[in-house]
Amino acid sequence: MKPKDLKSQYTWDTRCIKLEDGVFYVPSHYPNYGSFTFPGWAHSDVFGNENPVNVEYCSGNGAWIATKAMEFPNENWVAVEKRFDRVRKIWSKKKNHGLNNLFIVCGEAQTFTEHYIPKGSVKDIFINFPDPWPKKRHAKHRLMQSDFVDMMGQVIKKEGALTLVTDDPDYSIRSTDVLLQHDAFESLYPMPFYQTSLTGYGSSYFDALWRQKGRQIRYHRYRKTVNSAAIS
């Protein structure tokens, strides 16, 4: 299957929440997200089993998560990507490799997490190369903000791991500041709270691109705290 084989599901005027062929469509600026009830990970339209669930935000073209789905067939993998052109590429990988343990969300991370991920249902969360939105006036668009960390704290299981990967030093510092202020997570690394290598982590389009340009990659890893006040 080619990416273009996945057809657009709606226009702006006809946008709707839709679950079809392993893709969950969550349009932006939809007036009533509560009108759709997510059926749960074990539903036949999603994974159809009770295997552990891992979520990757900012999945890009899906190279990293498709590889993980192949490496760990007894775990479920959720790719969250807001751009439809990239969702098409993930879908193509899912189809061509027969990855029934890969589920795709076409929508924004915050909206999907807040409205549809069941509380305490996610084993591990991965955030790979989020857009740093470096200009101050664009700060509101950054994924790693306090309210989103709260949401992740609600959906991840106790002692589950949160991994953030970035090539941007400023974004690394800002994200660390946000995460350290929350009792839902504790860093698995001592100060400066990141490492520049992580054996067996895998690669992606952006990982290869930034390495080629000579940028240093920072890996941040946090664990959901046992005594966190967030729902487990």
Give the model confidence (pLDDT) of 117-157 as tens digits: 999 999 999 999 998 766 666 567 689 999 999 999 999 99
> Contact, 19 vs 45, CB < 8 A?
yes
The per-residue pLDDT for 1 is 92
Please say if 131 is a catalytic residue.
yes
The per-residue pLDDT for 10 is 87
The per-residue pLDDT for 6 is 95
Residue 52 has pLDDT above 80, yes or no: yes
Cα 67–chain centre separation: 15
Cα 151 to Cα 139: distance, rounded to the nearest angstrom: 19
- Per the listing, tokens 């949401």 go with 151
What is the pLDDT averaged over residues 63-74? 98
Q: At what angle do helices 146-155 and 169-180 cross, to 10 degrees?
A: 60
The per-residue pLDDT for 230 is 43
Catalytic position from the list 5, 21, 85, 131: 131
Cα 15–chain centre separation: 22
